[in-house]
Chains A and B, each alone.
Chain A
Amino acid sequence: MIRSVPRSRLFDGVYLAYLVVFFVYLAMPLLVTAVFAFNDSPFPSLPWQGFTLDWYLADGSEGRTGLFHDSGLLSALWVSAKIAVWVTLVSVALGCVNAVLFERLQFRGKEFLYLLMLLPLVIPGVILGVSILVFYSGTANEVSRLWGIELDMFRPGMTLVVMGQVTFITTLATLVIAARLRKFDPQLEEAALNLGATPLVAWFTVTLPWLMPSIVGAAAMAFLMSFENFNTTVMLTGSDTPLTVALFNRLREGSTPVLNAVALFLMVVSALLALFTLRQKRSE
């Protein structure tokens, strides 16, 4: 069924209705979450009690604590941000190296290593978390039992969370950067070398600027994926809980519009990041 094949009006009507229903289905959960962040009622449900900014700004004096005065959520936000920065740095750096390795070099066993590189994509996130917990935390326990040395960085906590997230985000970063490197014309680099540049200078003045848009894109994606991750994170987190885990714990206690406020805040941040990468792409 393509445009050049004649079709009935009924078919067109049904198709259009399907599209509308589909996009309503997509938008609805996010829309209601956003709207109820501003409802002047202690529960995120109808009836609508009027507009308020309490769920952001209230300082707790009238029984309501808004997001910007909720120290628990704010510190969780900060933990998530720190984790995301580390994950972004490590996985984008690894992604660059991997992309050059697989796109520019020829070596034996390359095909097999490429499959290994893809492996984290087909392992469920929970399992990635569990295996890292079992190995590193288990090792820390053994070392402590046998020699009395405490390897605190391998106990559940920020380091393990970063390691767990880097595992699969590196694969995604590699794919994004490698896709751009594939389109690079190696003659440009050869020209630089012929003009007297050392390989390192050629890399930093010719290849890296070409890769920059994909590196920025991969970084934005890595940051978002890290910030939003739950399945791997929940297995590895210690006492300093990141935002998704903190929200999950709150949600189990019962929902309040503060959760909506956080959700909307997250959506806006993600949207800004997405728009930023889009602009970056357009300016190429």
Chain B
Amino acid sequence: MKSSAGRLSLWLLLTPFVLWIVLLVLVPHLQMLRVSFQVRESWDTIAWGVQQYQNFFIESYYWRTFVRTGVMSLFTTFLTLLIAFPIAWYIAKMARGRSKGILFMACLIPFWASELVRTYGWMILLRESGLFSSWLQALGWVDGPVEMLYNDVAVIIGLVYNGLLFMVVPLVTTLDGMDENLVEAGYDLGGGHATVLREIVVPWAMPGIVSGCIVVFMLTLGSYLTPVLMGGKDSAWFTEQIFTQFITRFNWEQGAALGVLLLVLSSVMVWLGLTLSGQSLRKVMG
């Protein structure tokens, strides 16, 4: 009786989960993979082939953007880690009492606004008629308006801004749990700042670092608004090309192939990050 009731409740609880994961994640992604191997011969006949993937390698524009997006995402992730670490360290280990909570909350404030609003804010600051340009002119440092938007630096400023929260929070969480005696012991045993950081702090914070890096990398790689609105003519982002294929050209087969490629890139990077740092997805995400 007990075991049959237990089995019934297991099935009752398992069904919604299975429906969600199968209908919204697994089946759509398998279908995307299938469509990416379809070649449209005429309006109603379809053959199988790898033409879409060939296009990707033949058209240098595709794979150049692909590589560029990957490299810039990696760079952004690394920069975000460098910027966020001292902040997280201060919040976790140096601030006390009220100021700790207040500083932590202050880190969350930008995320009360959507990515669109944040990007818009940067546009108001950086563009030719923007605030920085006006201030520089008022100070007399430049003669005419300066355009600081529509280049790679602007894109990276915006992307780092979008990623910071997702780096600071996991770092603070892991650093908070670190026993300060470990750091003191490191110094007592004659270690310098660099040694203590390398041998004690970084290994301890590794789950937080990996978790932050994975999330920031994913967000950056998949971002659309920031590169489109803040980037220049030649700073294309891979998501833009997926968007163009689906919405503008209505070429689903090519779009699906590009989508699969982006998914492969992000999965490989996540897997590499986990393997190289010896972490598991469950530990860093769950």
Q: Which of B55-63, B86-94, B202-210 contacts A (4 or more CB under 8 A)?
A: B86-94
For B257-286 the 0/1 string (1 means CB < 8 A from A) is: 001001100110010000000000110011
* Docked-complex contact B114 and A29, CB < 8 angstroms: no
CB of B151 within 8 A of chain A?
Answer: no
A114 and B116 CA atoms in complex are apart in Å by 32
- Give the residue name and chain of the B residue nearest to A32 (CB): B124
Q: Are A15 and B86 in touch, CB under 8 angstroms?
A: yes
Taken residue by residue from 46 to 57, chain A's Cβ proximity to chain B (1 for < 8 Å, 0 otherwise) reads as 110000000000
Complex: A162 Cα to B94 Cα, angstroms: 43
Q: Which of B18-36 contact A (CB under 8 A)?
A: 20-21, 24-29, 31-32, 35
Contact B106 A231 (CB under 8 A): no
**A29 to chain B: closest residue by CB:** B121
Instruction: Pick the contact of B259: A46, A118, A131 (CB < 8 A).
Output: A131
CA gap between A127 and B223 in the complex, in Å: 11
Chain A nearest CB from B104 CB (Å) reads 12
Q: CB within 8 A of B24: which of A132, A229, A235?
A: A132
Q: A104-135 toward B: CB 8 Å interface, digit per residue (1/0)?
A: 01010001011111111111111110111111
Is there an interface contact between B117 and A267, defined as CB atoms closer than 8 Å?
yes
B195 contacts partner chain A, Cβ-Cβ < 8 Å: no
| A227-B20 contact, Cβ under 8 Å, with A124-B262, A234-B243 | no
Q: Is the CB–CB distance between A124 and B218 below 8 Å?
A: yes
Select B282's contact among A47, A115, A131, beta carbons within 8 Å. Answer: A115
Contacting pair B20 A4 (CB below 8 A): no
A166 to B10, CA, bound (A): 23
**Is B221 part of the contact surface with A, judged by Cβ < 8 Å?**
yes
A43 contacts across to B, CB distance below 8 A? 129
- The complex places the Cα of A235 from the Cα of B242 at a distance, in Å, of 10
Decide if A10 is an interface residue (CB 8 Å cutoff).
no
Q: Are B221 and A45 in contact (CB under 8 A)?
A: no
B40 nearest CB across to chain A (Å):
13
Interface bin, chain A: 35 or more
Q: Which residues of A sit under 8 angstroms from B129, Cβ to Cβ?
A: 43, 45
- Give the A-B pair count, Cβ closer than 8 A: 234
Contacts known (A2-B180, A107-B10, A131-B32); A251 close to B229, Cβ less than 8 A? yes
Any chain B CB within 8 A of the CB of A18?
yes
B52 in contact (CB, < 8 A)? no
In the complex, B236 has a CB within 8 A of chain A: no
Contact among A118, A125, A248 with B286 in the assembled complex (CB-CB below 8 Å): A118
Provide the residues of chain B in CB contact with A244, threshold 8 Å: 114, 116
Q: Are B246 and A119 in touch, CB under 8 angstroms? A: no
Closest to B7 in A: A107
- Chain B interface: which of A69-77, A93-101, A205-213? A93-101
24 contacts between A and B (CB under 8 A): A2-B94, A3-B93, A22-B83, A22-B87, A30-B110, A32-B121, A32-B131, A43-B129, A46-B131, A94-B17, A101-B13, A101-B14, A122-B214, A122-B285, A126-B222, A126-B242, A130-B256, A134-B35, A167-B20, A175-B286, A228-B113, A251-B120, A266-B114, A271-B112
Seed contacts A46-B131, A145-B44; 11 additional CB < 8 Å A-B pairs: A5-B183, A19-B90, A30-B117, A101-B14, A114-B286, A122-B270, A124-B221, A126-B262, A136-B28, A166-B24, A228-B116
Q: Spell out B's residues near A (CB within 8 Å).
A: 9-10, 13-14, 16-17, 20-21, 24-29, 31-32, 35, 44, 83, 86-87, 89-90, 93-94, 103, 106-110, 112-118, 120-125, 127, 129-131, 134, 161, 164, 180, 183-184, 187, 193, 214-215, 218, 221-225, 229, 239, 242-243, 246-247, 252, 255-256, 259, 262-263, 266-267, 270, 281-282, 285-286
